Amino acid sequence: MAQSAVIRPGHVCLRVLDLEAAVRHYRDRVGLLEIERDSEGRVYLKGWDEQDWFSVVLREADHPGMDFLGFKVLGTDALARLESDLNAWGCVTERMPAGELRHCGERVRFQLPTGHVVELYAQKDFMGNGLGRVNPDPWLEGVKGMQAQRFDHCLLYGRDIDGNIALLRDVLKFDLTEKVVDGELVVAAFLSCSNKAHDIAFVRHAEDGKFHHASFLLGTWEEVLRAADIIAMHDISLDLGPTRHGITRGRTIYFFDPSGNRNEVFCGDYTWYPDHEPIIWTADQIGRAIFYHDRRLNENFLNVVT
Amino acid sequence: MAQSAVIRPGHVCLRVLDLEAAVRHYRDRVGLLEIERDSEGRVYLKGWDEQDWFSVVLREADHPGMDFLGFKVLGTDALARLESDLNAWGCVTERMPAGELRHCGERVRFQLPTGHVVELYAQKDFMGNGLGRVNPDPWLEGVKGMQAQRFDHCLLYGRDIDGNIALLRDVLKFDLTEKVVDGELVVAAFLSCSNKAHDIAFVRHAEDGKFHHASFLLGTWEEVLRAADIIAMHDISLDLGPTRHGITRGRTIYFFDPSGNRNEVFCGDYTWYPDHEPIIWTADQIGRAIFYHDRRLNENFLNVVT
Amino acid sequence: MAQSAVIRPGHVCLRVLDLEAAVRHYRDRVGLLEIERDSEGRVYLKGWDEQDWFSVVLREADHPGMDFLGFKVLGTDALARLESDLNAWGCVTERMPAGELRHCGERVRFQLPTGHVVELYAQKDFMGNGLGRVNPDPWLEGVKGMQAQRFDHCLLYGRDIDGNIALLRDVLKFDLTEKVVDGELVVAAFLSCSNKAHDIAFVRHAEDGKFHHASFLLGTWEEVLRAADIIAMHDISLDLGPTRHGITRGRTIYFFDPSGNRNEVFCGDYTWYPDHEPIIWTADQIGRAIFYHDRRLNENFLNVVT
Amino acid sequence: MAQSAVIRPGHVCLRVLDLEAAVRHYRDRVGLLEIERDSEGRVYLKGWDEQDWFSVVLREADHPGMDFLGFKVLGTDALARLESDLNAWGCVTERMPAGELRHCGERVRFQLPTGHVVELYAQKDFMGNGLGRVNPDPWLEGVKGMQAQRFDHCLLYGRDIDGNIALLRDVLKFDLTEKVVDGELVVAAFLSCSNKAHDIAFVRHAEDGKFHHASFLLGTWEEVLRAADIIAMHDISLDLGPTRHGITRGRTIYFFDPSGNRNEVFCGDYTWYPDHEPIIWTADQIGRAIFYHDRRLNENFLNVVT
């Protein structure tokens, strides 16, 4: 039992093939708010219920995938301490200057053992969720599409899952909340720095540095249906759902952005507490673990990554 | 625009391979109430919110499928008139004696052009929905499993869909509410004798007299999720769902009873009115018509019938 | 058991004190679509899922209330027959010319024994629900506010409830679905011309011709919550809810338009069938009958009418 | 921004006038599981999704109210440190021996400035949630009544709210998440030791040591309706709801146990993060803050405490 100085996944930077098509997808269908663009042409967005300046950055590139994933930490002291702990653990870190991402303070960047670029930061400008801090209404009218509340987590694919778990548990003090095991081999791991059932997850995969999905939070199973309808109305490529995960109990639907990056919108995992023991899924039940209703994996879900 | 003297689908008799396994399925999982058994060993069940004595009859047999489907009509006068109209249309009818099904009056039995046995009846004993008629509560506590409210409709497969439509429209005064067309060919038809989007449906198929599914009503999309969870918890064979139909807008899940008969539980079609025009689905959009989110048919759904 | 040639409540004309304030309420908050205005300045609106040209007419006047309530019937033959039946019953009828309401055919107007003006019509121009009749999506994007699907029914107050019941049952062939009785006295009555639990309702009241509420259909209990939130966000005067009715099982919320006319948005009554017996509520349980959770009436609900 | 070594509210001990009536209420209506009874006759219960041995203790007494509220902390080191910090802050603490509550380790007991007895503990035996830790299903079948998932928080009434806030923030490192202010005066405060919007709350009141309600978590707004129906079916005394809180955004219903202790079942607050600023409600909007839809307080809610 430990406590993490990491607060939450605070942003993800995704590569997209056609920037304007991507903006239409994340803004008009997923329902993020477009906040601004920077001099490099990157587009910043956020979920309506997020308080900080942005949580999604889109960068036009010639192949899709994830540039980096950022976590907010409790303060500059915590940032310095975690940087030092990462170095002590053998992780090379790099300081990205304040302002390199608009409205974001210095970021400590490093690579996970699976090759994914992760960064920690302590400061991002406050924008608010549009409801104000005094006598706020419970939700914001006029949000588009699926009305995603926030960027929630990512699932990443790579080889050294054990190394990732070790780094996140030992250095960043995440909890392992659920894992899928094939005998002694951990084939998937779900980790939390909060009371959420997962803030990041990994699946063992032959190729490092791969991106499986970025997930956005909805409020209810009825909103998952609404998202599914919107996916069909606008001919968005569906992966699978609506369904339930065995892992995390989440109610979910998976689909692809126009560049082939997978998205999830979901609701309803349980409250994780640090005195709980991790839940274990055995490989023979991996179908049920991932897609609880179907009880079998589709090939897409295992193999299509960016 | 016409009005049907047919009130509703009132019962379906299904053949099952193992009677006790079937009773456990329909009673403990679908959540029907077991009412009684007759001297032939047939088991009678009903949904908790149905007022008449029974709506599902299970008969043990060496192959699965549907024995017959019964519709309740407005009274004995209507029954006699419809019998005469059927005869005038060229349909041979047979009177099944009162009591042949327990607590059910005389039934006028005939064959649809697709070979399915359908019967009309005017009288069935009143059992009530357990809430009483004076100051009733809105629902019944203690119902098991998926808590299906009622038997709702059947989908039947056979060759002469056009004949079925003609008989149901011209003689029984059903409305055609939706149809799937491939050019001039009607490949699926949905018909209503009420304000429901469908009380019976047909799909064109090379073999006559086949049974696709019996459907049971739930109250909400959340109850569809609950049904999906129960399907997984009890390792019930899933066909597809939870999802939405384009046709009827229903939110649905399909699964199989232990004998291989397909069941649906669903909620939420729209209100049909007799001054509306039928909705038309084109064959190129049949995926979306049937499974709105996936926008493609699974082979099971088209070909597995009993 | 009978069958009504009346299809549904097709329109209601409400008097409002400030037309533009009323339009903002019904269009931006209730979520009706504004269709057009006529030469008298009346505003025509409809729910997004209604097929005919309009269902709500707003007329500016110096006191609020209901001008008239219109029911659509099966055709011009049915209209003529019902007119004749009304006359035979002792009801004076008046023919309103086609076009007096825009896009609406001739209307046969009469007074209920409680003094309310009701009219029957067989024809109104088709507008459609915006989804088309070929391969339609299940719902319309971009609808405002509570996103009411349709005008559903009215509750009217007056003295001769028994007379109203007699006229609606004997002449128009409505079913009595539920009633509240105080000994022999019927104090409230709910009647249906369809499979809905009510298409019109009456409460006994010392003054004739009073309007209690016009009701609009929502899809789910979650949408009732959303409506409640919108009521609070926009400081709309709330009467009561969200709650459930014992009568009809509806899940509901009541509020007032800017002129003081009461509105309801609700979801979820049961399927009425003509072979069912009416449900009876006893006066000592009237609290539970109306507001099932609170089990007591608020004074507003009984006494504030327009 | 800080992090609390307090994990969650772990148990509440309530005084009830009639033990068996109370057990029937909490077990059969709220849906807690009855776990065991101790030699003093106290009854231990838990929500189905709680992992530790119990979360509610009922003690028969001649007046209702709360004996004490217990919080679980991260471990015995944290317990010793918090005890020392409490003493340093001027709080007298008492060690309750392990086993004084069945299956619970030593508890450090102290009084809040408002006179409420609170205790901290680091150990309670593991019972599990009935689903197992290996390949678990998402929920437990057969739970009764409202199917409350867990004991969630308490609202307590007393004079020195400022003292409570100071103790909880400065010593136990809770966050203040929301407050109601009348000018400079804090009249209500909501505090969290987790990512929940509240783990404990206080309202300023003329008398110290009073208990307003114990709250239990449900999963959805539909389950809140179900709870409301159960309240009516079983003639449980209703306080108010179903409705939404402005504070915490929770969707809720309040009712009383047979001894007059208030209960809440609710769902759906937001995710609190420690870098957020507290939300402020002004006294003129206190109606909206508490009951968002009604926008006015009922007298009961302010004045009826045990």
The pLDDT, as a whole number, for residue C269 is 78
| Apex B106 CA angle, B104 and B108, nearest 5 | 120
CA-nearest residue to C7 within chain B is B273
Closest CA–CA distance from residue C50 to any residue of chain D (Å): 27
Q: For residue A50, which phi and psi values (nearest 5 degrees)?
A: -90, 145
How far apart (Å, rounded) are the C-alpha atoms in residues C57 and C68? 10
Q: Which of C221, C222, C225, C234 to mutate to test the interface with A (most CBs of A within 10 A)?
A: C222
Interchain pair A278, D72: CB under 8 A: no
The pLDDT, as a whole number, for residue D42 is 98
Residues of D at the C interface, defined by Cβ within 8 angstroms: 221-222, 225, 228-229, 231-232, 235, 238, 241-244, 251, 253, 288, 292-295
**A151-208, pLDDT tens digit by residue?**
999 999 999 999 999 999 999 999 999 999 999 999 999 999 999 999 999 999 999 9
State the amino acid at position D86 in one-letter form.
L
Q: How many CB atoms lie within 10 A of CB C97?
A: 10
pLDDT band at B273 (very low <50, low <70, confident <90, very high): very high
C163 HSE (CA, 13 A, CB side) = 16
Taking a C-beta distance cutoff of 8 angstroms, is the pair D26, D259 a contact?
A: no
Closest CA–CA distance from residue D72 to any residue of chain C (Å): 35
Residues of C at the A interface, defined by Cβ within 8 angstroms: 137-139, 141, 220, 222, 229-230, 232-233
Q: How many CB atoms lie within 10 A of CB D287?
A: 16
Residue range A262-289: average pLDDT? Answer: 94
**B152-191, pLDDT tens digit by residue?**
999 999 999 999 999 999 999 999 999 999 999 999 999 9
Interchain pair C280, B1: CB under 8 A: no
How far apart (Å, rounded) are the C-alpha atoms in residues C21 and C11? 20
Residues of D at the A interface, defined by Cβ within 8 angstroms: 1, 3, 5, 7-8, 49, 51, 72, 74-75, 133-139, 150, 194-196, 219-221, 244, 246, 249, 268, 270-271, 273-282, 285, 288-289, 292
Residue range C131-146: average pLDDT? Answer: 97
How far apart (Å, rounded) are the C-alpha atoms in residues A15 and B259? 50
A264 catalytic? Reply is yes
pLDDT band at A101 (very low <50, low <70, confident <90, very high): very high
Closest CA–CA distance from residue B290 to any residue of chain C (Å): 11
Taking a C-beta distance cutoff of 8 angstroms, is the pair B120, B6 a contact?
A: yes
**D155-192, pLDDT tens digit by residue?**
999 999 999 999 999 999 999 999 999 999 999 999 99
Partner residue opposite B139 with nearest CB, options D220, D222, D229: D229
Task: Give, rounded to a whole angstrom, the gap between the first and last alpha carbons of chain A.
Answer: 34
Query: In Å, what is the CA distance from D291 to each residue of B23, D249, D299, D300?
Result: 47, 10, 12, 13
pLDDT band at D285 (very low <50, low <70, confident <90, very high): very high
Strands of the sheet with A200-204, listed across from one edge = A238-244, A251-256, A262-267, A210-217, A150-158, A200-204, A185-192, A175-182, A279-282
The C-alpha torsion from A235 through A239 and A240 to A241, rounded to 10°, is: -40
pLDDT band at D304 (very low <50, low <70, confident <90, very high): confident
Q: Which of A28, A29, A137, A146 to mutate to test the interface with C (most CBs of C within 10 A)?
A: A137
Contacts of the segment D37-46: beta carbons below 8 A, 24+ positions apart: D38/D101, D38/D102, D42/D13, D43/D19, D44/D101, D44/D102, D46/D127, D46/D150, D46/D151
Taking a C-beta distance cutoff of 8 angstroms, is the pair B158, B202 a contact?
A: yes
Checking if the pLDDT of C299 tops 90, the result is no
For chain A, the average pLDDT equals 96
Closest CA–CA distance from residue D242 to any residue of chain C (Å): 6
How far apart (Å, rounded) are the C-alpha atoms in residues A270 and C209? 54
How far apart (Å, rounded) are the C-alpha atoms in residues C247 and C178? 7
| Apex D12 CA angle, D9 and D15, nearest 5 | 165
How far apart (Å, rounded) are the C-alpha atoms in residues D5 and D73? 6
- Residues A247-271: b if buried by 16+ CB within 10 A, e if exposed: bbbbbbbbbbbbbebbbbbbbbbbb
pLDDT band at A261 (very low <50, low <70, confident <90, very high): very high
The pLDDT, as a whole number, for residue D268 is 84
The pLDDT, as a whole number, for residue B297 is 82
A103 catalytic? Reply is no
Closest CA–CA distance from residue C213 to any residue of chain B (Å): 22
Partner residue opposite A228 with nearest CB, options B222, B235, B244: B244
Partner residue opposite C222 with nearest CB, options A137, A220, A233: A220
Judged by average pLDDT, the poorest of A56-65, C202-211, D42-51, D296-305 is D296-305
Interchain pair C74, B138: CB under 8 A: no
Q: Which of A218, A271, A276 to mutate to test the interface with D (most CBs of D within 10 A)?
A: A271
The pLDDT, as a whole number, for residue B2 is 59
Under 8 Å CB-to-CB from C302, ≥6 apart: which residues?
Answer: C203
Under 8 Å CB-to-CB from B30, ≥6 apart: which residues?
Answer: B145, B146, B148, B216, B263, B265
User: How is residue C142 written in tokens?
Assistant: 């971009």
The pLDDT, as a whole number, for residue C126 is 97
For chain C, the average pLDDT equals 96
Nearest to C83 by CA among C158, C156, C6, C9: C6
User: How is residue D217 written in tokens?
Assistant: 């978590």
pLDDT band at B204 (very low <50, low <70, confident <90, very high): very high
> Helix (H) and strand (E) counts for chain B?
6, 17
pLDDT band at A273 (very low <50, low <70, confident <90, very high): very high
Element (H, E) at B94: strand B94-96
- Percent of chain D at pLDDT above 70? 99
Residues of C at the B interface, defined by Cβ within 8 angstroms: 1, 3, 5, 7-8, 49, 51, 72, 74-75, 133-139, 150, 194-196, 219-221, 244, 246, 249, 268, 270-271, 273-282, 285, 288-289, 292
Residue range B140-154: average pLDDT? Answer: 97
Residue range B183-202: average pLDDT? Answer: 97
Nearest to C55 by CA among C33, C87, C30: C33
Instruction: Give the DSSP letter of residue D104.
Output: B
Residue range A212-233: average pLDDT? Answer: 98
The pLDDT, as a whole number, for residue D305 is 87
Residue range C132-152: average pLDDT? Answer: 97
**C95-108, pLDDT tens digit by residue?**
999 999 999 999 99
Helices (H), B134-241: 161-166, 221-233
Query: In Å, what is the CA distance from A38 to each residue of A44, A58, C41, D53?
Result: 8, 11, 51, 54
Catalytic hit among A11, A198, A205, A212:
A198
Closest CA–CA distance from residue A239 to any residue of chain B (Å): 8
Under 8 Å CB-to-CB from C228, ≥6 apart: which residues?
Answer: C238, C241, C242, C253, D243, D244, D292, D293
**C15-61, pLDDT tens digit by residue?**
999 999 999 999 999 999 999 999 999 999 999 999 999 999 999 99
Strands of the sheet with B279-282, listed across from one edge = B238-244, B251-256, B262-267, B210-217, B150-158, B200-204, B185-192, B175-182, B279-282
Residues of C noted as catalytic = 153, 198, 213, 245, 254, 264
Taking a C-beta distance cutoff of 8 angstroms, is the pair C96, C109 a contact?
A: yes
For chain B, the average pLDDT equals 96
pLDDT band at C301 (very low <50, low <70, confident <90, very high): confident
Closest CA–CA distance from residue B262 to any residue of chain C (Å): 24
Q: Which of D51, D137, D195, D267 to mutate to test the interface with A (most CBs of A within 10 A)?
A: D195
The pLDDT, as a whole number, for residue C2 is 59
Residues of D noted as catalytic = 153, 198, 213, 245, 254, 264
**B64-92, pLDDT tens digit by residue?**
999 999 999 999 999 999 999 999 999 99
- Percent of chain C at pLDDT above 70? 99
The pLDDT, as a whole number, for residue D2 is 59
With beta carbons under 8 A apart, name residues in chain D contacting B222: 220, 222
Residue range B84-107: average pLDDT? Answer: 98
pLDDT band at B303 (very low <50, low <70, confident <90, very high): confident
With beta carbons under 8 A apart, name residues in chain C contacting D253: 293
The pLDDT, as a whole number, for residue A299 is 77
pLDDT band at A2 (very low <50, low <70, confident <90, very high): low
Residues of B noted as catalytic = 153, 198, 213, 245, 254, 264
Nearest to B119 by CA among B57, B175, B196: B57
Residue range D259-279: average pLDDT? Answer: 95
Checking if the pLDDT of A302 tops 80, the result is no
Under 8 Å CB-to-CB from C203, ≥6 apart: which residues?
Answer: C155, C156, C157, C161, C187, C188, C212, C302
Nearest to B276 by CA among D78, D35, C51: C51
